[in-house]
């Protein structure tokens, strides 16, 4: 292992990265709180400012993928569609098979300049999570409880509010509702059999109601639906911990464009789409490629520059404090610092654990909840 790779794998480096992310994130959340005074005065200015503040947080995660781990991403798509990316509002359908698929979705947004304004349909519990959850609140992210009877009115209202959004945005959505596991797949395919739908080998049955409502509410502002299928070469199963350790992966992302016509057609269209996604997945496993022109979107420097800014701003006072504590020679002070390090270590491990498949949501596992939303 080279010296750079060795340093990237050291826990102290991970702690420093997480320190920068947590402290800068809380500072940005605090600034976002003060932007609320702009909402009744100039809503569009509030939105533009929060897009940039949100970018300061989410781009740090993308920096880890692009610059720290050096992960490559090859995009397979139609050349005519490629030139539209980032220049129009779009709904982006993502498969949900990997621990870092959300991060690759953000990377896709970053390469085309819409990371700060990107939207998601997220579970309500995430809105209470400091930094990212709070950031999403100010970005007018659509949160749901995963109970459609309770969610419909709130989701519709939140989506309609985005119709006059001043920035180009991509609305990222995992139509499967939860990350793929073998147990969830078995249950999902039982539902497919009961409903007379074709079974899928590599995906869960898509949940159509949320997608149909999203398309209908955003129809006047969204130009297209981008279906994206993500895979990693050499059958790699990347993790956030691997990215944090500086491990390099190679992602292949297949993106195609379409627009369903009406809500009834959305359901049929989405089921057909997932059958096609399954076929693309089968083809990728067999040949290692997708049926489209490969290209590598240029990596932009802003994620790295943003991280360096926060690192320079926050590491100096940290090191100065550490030196002062060591010079003080106080056993109580040193013990307090060690305690903080332990708490920070536990916090870092918890944040990583949120993305791990074996610790993911139980949504979709319960036989009593087999009815598709």
| Longest Cα–Cα distance in the chain | 73
Predicted confidence at residue 153, as pLDDT, reads 85
CA–CA gap between residue 114 and residue 106 (Å, rounded) = 9
Contact 245, 9 (CB under 8 A): yes
DSSP 199: P
Taking the CA atoms of 241, 280, 110 and 270 in sequence, report the sign of the dihedral they define. Answer: negative
Predicted confidence at residue 159, as pLDDT, reads 93
pTM: 0.88
In 3D space, the residue among 91, 12, 61, 73 whose CA is nearest the CA of residue 354 turns out to be 61
CA–CA gap between residue 67 and residue 47 (Å, rounded) = 28
Predicted confidence at residue 356, as pLDDT, reads 52
For tokens 């898509």, name the residue. 206
Predicted confidence at residue 105, as pLDDT, reads 93
| pLDDT tens per residue across all 373 residues of the chain | 588 888 888 888 888 898 899 899 999 999 999 999 999 999 999 999 999 999 999 999 999 999 999 998 999 999 888 999 999 999 999 988 888 888 999 999 999 999 999 999 888 888 888 899 999 999 999 888 777 777 788 889 999 999 999 999 999 998 888 888 889 999 999 999 998 888 999 999 998 888 888 888 998 899 889 999 999 998 888 988 899 999 999 999 999 988 776 656 788 889 899 999 999 999 999 999 998 889 999 999 999 999 999 999 999 988 887 787 777 767 776 677 677 677 766 666 666 655 554 555 555 555 444 444 4
Predicted confidence at residue 361, as pLDDT, reads 56
* H/E element, 251: strand 250-258
CA–CA gap between residue 120 and residue 228 (Å, rounded) = 15
CA atoms within 13 A on the CB side of 22: 13
Q: Rg for the chain (alpha carbons), in Å?
A: 22
Domains of the chain: 1-300 (3.40.1130)
Predicted confidence at residue 32, as pLDDT, reads 97
Predicted confidence at residue 92, as pLDDT, reads 95
Strand partners, 321: none
């Amino acid at each position: 292992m080279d010296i750079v790779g060795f340093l990237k794998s050291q826990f102290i480096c991970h702690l420093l990265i997480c320190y920068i992310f947590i402290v800068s994130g809380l500072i940005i959340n605090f600034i976002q709180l003060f932007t609320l005074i702009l909402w009744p005065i100039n809503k569009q200015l509030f939105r533009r400012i929060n897009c940039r503040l949100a970018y300061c947080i989410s781009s740090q995660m993308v920096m880890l993928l692009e610059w720290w781990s050096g992960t490559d991403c090859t995009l397979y798509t139609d050349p005519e569609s490629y030139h539209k990316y980032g220049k129009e509002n779009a709904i982006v359908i993502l498969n949900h098979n990997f621990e870092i698929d959300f991060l690759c979705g953000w990377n896709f947004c970053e390469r085309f300049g819409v990371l700060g304004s990107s939207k998601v349909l997220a579970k309500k519990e995430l809105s209470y999570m400091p930094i990212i959850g709070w950031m999403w609140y100010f970005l007018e992210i659509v949160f749901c409880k995963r109970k459609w009877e309770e969610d419909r009115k709130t989701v519709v209202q939140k989506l309609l509010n985005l119709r006059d959004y001043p920035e180009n945005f991509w609305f990222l959505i995992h139509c499967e509702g939860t990350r793929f596991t073998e147990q969830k797949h078995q249950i999902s395919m039982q539902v497919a059999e009961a409903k007379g739908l074709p079974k899928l080998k590599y995906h869960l049955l898509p949940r159509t109601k949320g997608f149909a409502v999203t398309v209908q509410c955003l129809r006047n502002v969204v130009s297209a639906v981008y279906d994206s299928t993500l895979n990693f070469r050499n059958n790699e199963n990347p993790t956030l911990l691997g990215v944090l350790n500086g491990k390099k992966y190679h992602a292949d992302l297949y993106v195609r464009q379409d627009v369903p016509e009406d809500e009834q057609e959305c359901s049929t269209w989405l089921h057909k789409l997932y059958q096609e996604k399954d076929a693309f997945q089968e083809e990728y496993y067999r040949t290692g490629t997708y049926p489209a022109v490969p290209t590598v979107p240029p990596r932009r420097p802003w994620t790295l520059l943003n991280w360096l800014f926060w690192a320079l701003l926050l590491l100096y006072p940290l090191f100065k404090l550490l030196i002062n504590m060591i010079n003080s020679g106080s056993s109580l002070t040193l013990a307090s610092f060690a305690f903080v390090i332990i708490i920070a270590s536990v916090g870092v491990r918890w944040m990583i654990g949120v993305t791990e498949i074996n610790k993911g949501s139980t949504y979709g596992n319960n036989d009593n909840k087999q009815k598709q939303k």
